[in-house]
Amino acid sequence: MDQTTSRKSIFTRLSFDFYTLRLFIIALVIFTAFSLLLPGKFFTVRNMQSMAVQLPEFGILAFAIMITMLTGGIDLSIVGTANLSAIVAAMILTGLTGDEGAGMSLAITMPLAMLGALLVASICGLFNGFLVSKVGITPILATLGTGAIYTGLSFVITGGPAITTTQLAFIGNGSLLRVPIPVIVFIFVAIIFVIILNRSVFGFNVYMLGTNPTAALFSGINNDRVLLRTYWLAGLIAGIAGIIFLARTNSAKPDFGASFILLTVLIAILGGVSYTGGFGAVSGLVLAVLSIQFLSTGLNMLMLMWFPSSAAIFFRQFAWGGLLLGVMVLNYYTEKRRDRQPASIQSKDSS
């Protein structure tokens, strides 16, 4: 029995390594293909810097999707949370600083704006967690509804137009040691998630809850508390993404990043996060973010050569949807094969 268990754990690790290797190969193939198809355009220093600044916008949001999917749920309100947080931060900056530099110093208002954005995002995440854990609403329906609420509240606050401010531009467009600051934030979030998921009790509880909620409950895990903390963390990460939105575009508006929901779900699925919960790793998510960024930039360049810009955008979303369906089908058969393999080993051992 012990030999069978050890073989199963070894196979699980090998399958994970193979999946990560497959993702690395996918990213490398996409990068190489567009470098050959677009010589002198894709593989350039300027394009690499542009992609490095763009990917944190949706890459950070992908971590919010990942942590909720690991529990067997999902958070479709992350874009609404991010935009609402960005709007609150912009209002604090413009309200306290005033016109033409009058008012409070930026050294004071900037931390206040960021704290305000993260506080609003935390409240949004806690509300989602309350609906899912305490009220018992299905996550996809709960967060779909709250996402509409947060977006509607953003329109009520702004009246429709964007709130413009350039006071955080150095975060969105600046660099530290020639590394764009948004990329540094993305790396920092990835490291924090590695620690949380692999080195903390909370991370173990998240995986346990996603694998088998009943077993998690009988093992002494407070499922409601884990869910509440999970959706709070997803909201907090969305708030960080909202600050990046504001810093990158120098404005905050209610409908920014409408396509990011599909994109982040695609990244999570492509990165190996199981939509039923209990399986997924940060390394896979990071490789998926790189793959999607290479694919989006390459397709955009190709389509702009043949079609108007609007058609290029629609084709890119079409490619995202097709890739999402293809990856889900591939993952389905991969999981079936993985589940079948330990059973065959066990039957051989028993015979």
Three-class SS of the chain:
CHHHHHHHHHHHHHHHHHHHHHHHHHHHHHHHHHHHHCCCCCCCHHHHHHHHHHHHHHHHHHHHHHHHHCCCCCCCCHHHHHHHHHHHHHHHHHHHHCHHHCCCCHHHHHHHHHHHHHHHHHHHHHHHHHHHHHHCCCHHHHHHHHHHHHHHHHHHHHCCCCEECCCCHHHHHCEECCEEHHHHHHHHHHHHHHHHHHHCHHHHHHHHHHHCHHHHHHCCCCHHHHHHHHHHHHHHHHHHHHHHHHHHHCEECCCCCCCHHHHHHHHHHHCCCCCCCCCCCHHHHHHHHHHHHHHHHHHHHHHHHHCCHHHHHHHHHHHHHHHHHHHHHHHHHHHHHHHHHHHHHHHHHHC
Q: For tokens 């208002």, what's the residue?
A: 109
Per-residue confidence (pLDDT) for residue 1, from 0 to 100 = 42
* Residue found under tokens 């944190």: 56
With a cut of 90, say whether residue 142 has pLDDT above it.
yes
Question: Token pair of 335, please?
Answer: 């999981």
Question: Which residues lie across from 251 on neighbouring strands?
Answer: 164
Residue 64: per-residue pLDDT: 96
Look at the block and give the residue holding tokens 């080993």: 345
What pLDDT, in 10s, does the model give residues 224-253? 999 999 999 999 999 999 999 999 999 999
The percent of residues above 70 in pLDDT, for the chain, comes to 85
For a pLDDT cut of 90, what percent of the chain falls above it? 48
Beta-carbon contacts of residue 163 (< 8 Å; ≥ 6 apart): 87, 90, 91, 94, 251, 252, 253
Question: Distance from first CA to last CA of the chain, Å, rounded?
Answer: 13
Convert the pLDDT of each residue in 300-349 to its tens digit.
Answer: 888 777 765 556 566 667 777 777 777 778 777 777 776 676 544 444 44
Return the higher-pLDDT residue of 65 and 272.
65
pLDDT tens column, 163-181: 998 888 888 888 888 888 9
Calculate the average pLDDT of the chain: 84
Amino acid at position 318, single letter:
F
> Residue 334: what pLDDT?
72
Quote the pLDDT of residue 247: 93
CA max distance for the chain: 82
pTM of the model: 0.85
pLDDT tens for 57-100 read 899 999 999 999 999 999 999 999 999 999 999 999 988 775 44
- Residues 282-297: pLDDT tens digits? 999 999 999 888 888 8
Tokens of 83: 């935009």
pLDDT score of 276: 86
Give residue-wise pLDDT tens across range 108-119: 888 999 999 999
Rounded CA separation 287/285 (Å): 5
CA 104 vs. chain centroid, Å, equals: 34
pLDDT value for 98: 59
Which single residue is written with the structure tokens 């929901």? 261
